[in-house]
Amino acid sequence: MGDSGILDLVSWNSDGLVPAIAQDFKSGRVLMMAWMNRESLQLTIDQGYAVYWSRSRGKLWRKGESSGHEQLVRELRLDCDGDTVLLVVEQKGGIACHTGRTSCFYRVLDDGAWREREPVIKSPESIYK
């Protein structure tokens, strides 16, 4: 497909990254937030599956490469400032979080403490063998 100027409309930060939010296409629920660089966004566009940039590992991260929980991209959106990407995805296996939960946003501030409000669907030990 090639760049064709699409990626030039993204406001990359000083590290060449843009925040990317994954949202479930059916429920509208926010599943996770990760980072993308030009290459990962282009691969996502070309392949139709979410590819992120892992800051901790310093390399491309194909969502689901070790867990099998891929994200099929149904729609890509860019916010008004061009500085955040939204991926509307079909989450394979129903698990987006490495903790084995549906969403990475499973903790809720309740009476001054973070409380877990979502069950583990599948233990991380059984996901990452």
Q: What string of pLDDT tens digits covers the 129 residues of the chain?
A: 455 589 999 999 999 999 999 999 999 999 999 999 999 999 999 999 999 999 999 999 999 998 999 999 999 999 999 999 999 999 999 999 999 999 999 999 999 999 999 999 999 888 887
Which among 28, 46, 30 is positioned nearest to 38, based on CA atoms?
46
Beta bridge partners of 116: 107
What is the predicted pLDDT for the residue at 128? Answer: 83
What is the predicted pLDDT for the residue at 4? Answer: 58
Global pTM reads 0.91
Q: Which two tokens stand for residue 43?
A: 């691969």
Name the residue ranges covered by the structural domains of the chain. 7-127
**CATH fold for the domain made of 7-127:** Ubiquitin-like (UB roll) (3.10.20)
